[in-house]
Structure 1
């Protein structure tokens, strides 16, 4: 029997933490589908739009040799996504383990026979840290020395 795995994520500002979860997920299934959360769903669930648009994030993830397929995740409920994609195991970072959202995920997927598999969260790198670093660099960038200010 082929085990189909699903690894959802924003995959915004793609970094080694994203690479790690996808690489480890591929080691625990026969076919890996990466769910790339849409811009609208990120705005709805996280309150912010991604830096990189959905089509570009999907292109990046689809070009990893261990990702077999990419799915644009356009609904907030992961079980609704499962109804479209049909996977046997869902992969999440262990920052979800023991949280209310992680426990709900486990309950919801237990009802449809899907296993939740957690991987260690890469603490030293995250899109949030990268976003803050970029904002700090942007705030410190001097106007003038080669930079142009565009006005409408």
Structure 2
């Protein structure tokens, strides 16, 4: 059972949202359909570096503006701490949305356990396999490698 703030079910959809693509849009669209008020958590550059081992391509201020402008998002929040429960203490959401690539993983189990203690539901959505920021980043790296040799001429 999730708690409610006022009469609205508040959802939270965290992500780096780097190289914004249809998978990001799908998560936000699906999340908004399951809550009354959607907060998108945009992970700071520092937290992305910690979590993924690399900095985002698109700077935080631009990622925040992109996500804030998506019609499914009611508010955007900059995530600056690695502990999602600490983020919950700041935002106070009822349900947290993640891609189903987290389901059945150690990270997902920890998330479910931690949030069960504070009454927050975890809802998984299908991960967009054919498009990801990692794939887009790899494609950009390949293109950059193809351009570099001709620059030496």
- Structure 1 position 97 matched with structure 2 position 90: no
| Other structure's SS at 2:41 match | strand
- Structure 1 position 108 matched with structure 2 position 114: yes
| Other structure's SS at 2:150 match | coil
| Other structure's SS at 1:72 match | strand
Instruction: State the match for 1:29 in structure 2.
Output: 35
Instruction: State the match for 1:78 in structure 2.
Output: 84
Distance 1:48 1:41 in 2: 10
**What TM-score results when the alignment is normalised by the length of structure 2?**
0.93
State the number of aligned residues: 146
Unaligned runs of 5+ in 2: 1-6
Of 121, 125, 129, which residue of structure 1 is paired with 2:135? 129
Distance 1:64 1:139 in 2: 33
| Other structure's SS at 1:33 match | strand
Of 116, 133, 143, which residue of structure 1 is paired with 2:150? 143
Instruction: State the match for 1:117 in structure 2.
Output: 123
Instruction: State the match for 2:57 in structure 1.
Output: 51
Distance 1:86 1:118 in 2: 19
Distance 1:32 1:39 in 2: 22
Of 31, 36, 41, which residue of structure 1 is paired with 2:47? 41
TM-superposed deviation, 1:143:
2.8
**What TM-score results when the alignment is normalised by the length of structure 1?**
0.93
Deviation beyond 2 Å, 4+ runs, structure 1 = none
